Amino acid sequence: MKKVLLTTTALVMTAGVAAADVSFSGSAKLTYGNWDGGATESWGSSTDLGVAMSGEASGISYSASISIDETDANTTDALDGNAAAAANNSVDIGGAVTMSGSGLSLTYDKDGEMDAGGGSEESGDLQVSYAGSGISASYTEDTSAGKSEIKVGYTAGDLTVGYATNNSSSVSALSASFKAGDLAITVEGADSGAAWDASAAYTMGASTVTVGTDQASKTYVKVATSLNDITLTAKALDGDNELSVGYTMGDISLSYAYDSGRLATATGGDAQTVMSIAYDLGGVVIKGQTNNVNEVEVSAAFTF
């Protein structure tokens, strides 16, 4: 990451300006394989550039960011004269601006990276929020589609309650969570079909056991633990059993994940079984992965 710090001590017409910070970050990835539904093995690449800016003036904090994401579905398309495939290559430019002070915050993200409710994730582009004295509240709106969501929460000690509603599906939801020592209890419910779910999690050192159920009487038991360099998570639920194992040995990490609730024909990282190995060289990560539908991918990811 490359960082530039600009400090202003005395400028005309800018009284109250303390400092401004501008940072740059970048990443790139080169892949080969048929991951995520590819018919045949092929080359691919992606390049990302991010700029983050922040400052403070007269008690008001402000920030802005811009990201440039380029994805090349197949780096050989243009060279081979495959115009149709090369047209799949795209560049996405996004950015967000935030102002905050005294617990109030205003954010505008023209790419809609916030959830405005109604079952549509990452659709809101305008958000006004407040946090203070145990109270949290937010209004998020998709200004182009007219969808909006209101959330209100309150925390008192180990008890947290919340309420959310949106104008898209007219669904209202309530939630409550309570923690007593190593035990955490969570209950959530919505007025759509009287949906609800509840869970209780108990932590014992590096292990956590969770038991949960919902209105359809789908009861599950989940265990997550770690021992030295090994992590293990297992979940038992009728028709949706899950198991994941991870092992780290210095700069090398191995992982195995199985989810019976996914389609046997699912591709990429959504496949029923995914195995991977990664080697972190510091700034460069070499990774190989495969799944139960005979897809493979080898990648080199770079950070700048």
Assigned domain for 142 exists: no
Tokens of 177: 């969570």
| Domain boundary residue, one of 42, 66, 96 | 96
Q: Give the model's pLDDT for residue 97.
A: 95
Assigned domain for 69 exists: yes
Assigned domain for 125 exists: no
Q: Which residue has the tokens 């994401």?
A: 69
Assigned domain for 108 exists: no
Assigned domain for 217 exists: no
Separation CA 95–CA 128 (nearest Å): 17
Separation CA 11–CA 57 (nearest Å): 13
| Domain boundary residue, one of 96, 120, 142 | 96
Residues 147 and 168: beta-carbon distance below 8 Å: yes
- Show the domain range for 91: 1-96
Residues 187-200 as b or e (16 or more Cβ within 10 Å = b): ebbbeeeeebbebe
DSSP string, 242-279: EEEEEEEETTEEEEEEEETTS-TT--GGGSSEEEEEEE
**Bridge partners of 124?**
114
* Per-residue confidence in pLDDT tens, the chain, 304 aa: 444 333 333 333 344 445 689 999 999 999 999 999 998 999 999 999 999 999 999 999 999 999 999 876 544 444 444 444 445 567 888 889 999 999 999 999 988 777 776 554 557 899 999 999 999 999 999 988 888 999 999 999 999 999 999 887 778 999 999 999 999 999 999 987 779 999 999 999 999 999 999 998 899 999 999 999 999 999 999 889 999 999 999 999 999 999 999 999 999 999 999 999 999 999 999 999 999 999 999 999 999 9
Tokens of 164: 């959310």
Assigned domain for 297 exists: yes
DSSP string, 102-157: TTEEEEEETT--B--STT-SS-B-EEEEEEETTEEEEEEEETTTTEEEEEEEEEET
Residue 26's SS3 state is: strand
| Domain boundary residue, one of 96, 131, 164 | 96
**What total number of domains does the chain contain?**
2
Write down how long the chain is. 304
What's at 134, amino acid-wise? Answer: G
Assigned domain for 91 exists: yes
- Run of H or E residues at 238: none
Q: Give the model's pLDDT for residue 5.
A: 37
Assigned domain for 189 exists: no
